[in-house]
Structure 1
Amino acid sequence: MRWEDVDSQICSMARGLAIFGDRWTLLIIRDCFRRVRRFSDFQKSLGITKHRLSDRLTRLVEEGILVK
């Protein structure tokens, strides 16, 4: 199985891995639990680029994990 095909699996573990399978996404979720809410605060806390942070946040919103 290729990594690109993980999110199309019927398995709930594979779908979860497709969403949370990189370190930035997990760190963003961690900061959410720490009540970080502003884009600039995420960027400051994580030291992540604007493009990558925007990409990860958009994906989490699209998947229904976070709300704007």
Structure 2
Amino acid sequence: MPDDLGTTLEILRRNYEDLDSSKSDEQLRHNMQNFLASVNSLVAHSYRIAGEHEETEEWEVEQKMRELQELLDGI
């Protein structure tokens, strides 16, 4: 799976164009498989981005809690 979202989207776009220009049933099946694989890659990439965002939020919450505790300890 490509790490870069732009690359993932470019692959998806190219696979869609290939699918749209299929001339035979065999070519259509092959291009459909490639297109669906690129959709799956995009979904996986999206889940990974969401997971990274969640981890960042958790870290920020923990950091704010430590800062708050330090302020309370200083009172």
Greater Cα radius of gyration, structure 1 or 2: 2
How high is the TM-score relative to the length of structure 1? 0.32
How high is the TM-score relative to the length of structure 2? 0.30
Relative contact order, higher structure (CA 8 A, sep 6+): 2
Structure with bigger helix share is 2
